Amino acid sequence: MRELDVAGIVTRLIELGYVDDDAYAHAKSRDLTARGYGARRVEQALWAAGVEEQVRSDHVPGEAASRRAAVLLAKKRRFGPFGLPPEEDEPHEARHKRREKQVAAMLRAGHLYDHAGFIIDAASEEIVEQWLEEAEDLGDI
């Protein structure tokens, strides 16, 4: 039986373009942010896939993309101004508990605490949209 040259096979696959960490990282980052996941979660997924640090850092979403993903998650999960308004007679403790659960869900999805808090505490959808436009105006895609 002939011994298998694994290193040679991998080298050939890389040469042919079948193994491309940069393309994989780009696609994975794009897909995760499009599903509402934050930069930390993207970096963790790339790390778990064995993508080297430099390639991971090149494909972690910037500020505008991170904000878009956070807003997308908030809309999907009906957090903050995208959900039902609190009832007038709802106790403060219940509002606080709901807020903490929403923040925790956004943190688990890889979003920054500042982003989660801003969105959840926003008084209206328009305020969130303006916040999103601010980052996009800076040119950070």
Check whether 19 has a pLDDT greater than 80.
no
Q: How confident is the model at residue 34 (pLDDT cuts 50, 70, 90)?
A: very high
Q: What is the DSSP string of the chain?
A: -PPP-HHHHHHHHHHHTS--HHHHHHHHHHHHHHTT--HHHHHHHHHHTT--HHHHHHHS--HHHHHHHHHHHHHHHT-GGGSPPPPTT--HHHHHHHHHHHHHHHHHTT--HHHHHHHHH-SSHHHHHHHHHHHHHTT--
Tens digits of per-residue pLDDT, 70-126? 999 999 999 999 998 888 888 989 999 999 999 999 999 999 999 999 999 999 999
State residue 140's pLDDT score. Answer: 58
Query: What one-letter code names the amino acid at 112?
Result: L
